[in-house]
Chain A
């Protein structure tokens, strides 16, 4: 799943470790999501959305194009 996590993080000048701490996950998890190697669970996706005060479709993009 494509996402804008890296861009949003860079806009705030946060490191992966900062974002990981804010989301209560490991830095490895943030890195894997940014590199699109791992899709976050729905609860984690909502934590991301709340943290960036955004909407889920503004951060994550479903590559399957379903809807």
Chain B
């Protein structure tokens, strides 16, 4: 068999793995935000349930980090550059947003602070920057 076709098959399999990992990642982020919002709006009736939610949230977070590291290692150099650019922008937006948000809370312009709002903005920035990067290097 031509080794080129082996590489094509490998590449296709890698793409499928990447797809599955990206789906898992987005669902994981969604679950984390949902658990956070559930705590804020008092959906947990007992302290034990709240603690369980914290543990589940932390476990999902650790799992997401491992998946994301594996995902980054699987990418080629252009895709890694797109991810780096997106993450840099998301981190910048996250820092600016959290400092601004903190100032708004301190000055009393925002009454009920919720850290998951910042998390959502960071995730949306990361997603938007990734899509723009993919379009730019299409």
Contact = CB atoms under 8 A, between A and B. Distances in A.
Contacts of B15: 26
Given A18-B4, A25-B77, A38 B11 contact: no
A34 to B, nearest CB: 11
Nearest to B79: A26
Interface in B1-58: 4-5, 7-8, 10-11, 15
Nearest to A22: B4
* B contact residues, range: 10 to 19
Chain B binding surface SS class? helix
Interface residues of A, number: 17
Contact of A32 (B5, B8, B11, B137): B137
A37 B136 contact: yes
Interface in B44-88: 76-79, 81
A11 interface: no
B138 interface: yes
Contacts of A44: 77
B85 to A, nearest CB: 12
Contacts of A25: 76-78
B78 A32 contact: yes
Contact of B76 (A17, A22, A29, A37): A29
A38 B7 contact: no
11 contacts: A18-B4, A21-B4, A21-B11, A22-B4, A24-B11, A24-B76, A28-B79, A28-B138, A29-B77, A32-B78, A41-B77
Interface of A: 17-18, 20-22, 24-26, 28-29, 31-32, 37-38, 40-41, 44
Interface of B: 4-5, 7-8, 10-11, 15, 76-79, 81, 134, 136-138
